[in-house]
Structure formats: C-alpha cells, structure tokens
Amino acid sequence: MTEKPYDIKHRCYQFSKEIVLFISTAKYDRIYFSIFDQLIRSGTSVGANIIEAKSGSSTKDFRNFYVIALKSANETKYWICLIRDTILLNEKERLNKLLSEVDEISKIIASIIINLK
C-alpha cells in the first residue's frame, strides 16, 4: 500500500481497491469462491457506507451508516484471517498488511462513532 490518506473516505476507497486487486490476483479453488465473495462484499462495503453517511438525513442516520461501516470492517477482519490461516498460507504477509489497514480503519470509525454521541 502507498501512503495512507488522511481523509477516512479516501482511505476506505484505497482499502477497497487493495481488496479488489488482491482478490483479482489470488489463486484459489472454486470451493472457496463464497469466502472470497464475502471478503469483497464486506471489504468494499466499509467505504460505501462511509460515503452513504454523507447523504444521511440526520445525525442519527449519519451515525447508523458509520455503525454499519464498522460492522463491515470487523467482518472483513474475520474473512482476511480465515483466508490467511486456511486457504492462502503463502500470502500471509500481504494479508497481514490488509488486516492491519482494516484494523486501523475500524479504530478510526469507532472513534468517529464515539465522538458523535
């Protein structure tokens, strides 16, 4: 990954790109398709919900989109760990970088949620 953007929207977008690029180059058997599908859905959902929050009709609506983004980030951590520890043992370093980034993103989102209360 390149230098991390300061803005959470841009950072989530960069993370989504990294997830898409990772999955597009990963070599895995068809039996694991649903796991990689879940990863791409949850990984790209983080940023999509952050963007959607911007058009929220109230502070509560805004906060709810951030909560959904946090849940997606946490789900993404699960799928990354599962893939790292069972399917793509030779990709641990790359997966650990993705895991580290989504962990940082989830902490930022959690902080934003706390500050909205």
pLDDT digit string, tens, across residues 42-86: 999 999 999 999 888 899 999 999 999 999 999 999 999 999 999
Decide if 52 is inside a domain.
Answer: yes
Q: Which CATH number covers residue 48?
A: 1.20.1440.60
DSSP letter at 62 equals H
Q: Mark out the alpha helices in the chain (DSSP H runs).
A: 8-25, 33-54, 59-82, 92-116
State which residues form the domain around 71: 27-116
Distance of CA 13 to the CA centre of its chain: 9
Question: 64 with 89: CB under 8 angstroms?
Answer: no
> pLDDT class for 1, splitting at 50, 70, 90?
very low
1 within a domain of the structure (yes/no): no
Q: Compute the CA torsion angle 78, 79, 83, 84 (nearest 10 deg).
A: -40
Question: Which pTM was predicted?
Answer: 0.92
107: in domain: yes
| Residue 20 within any structural domain of the chain | no
Number of domains in the chain: 1
- List Cβ neighbours of 21 (8 Å cut-off, separation of 6 or more): none
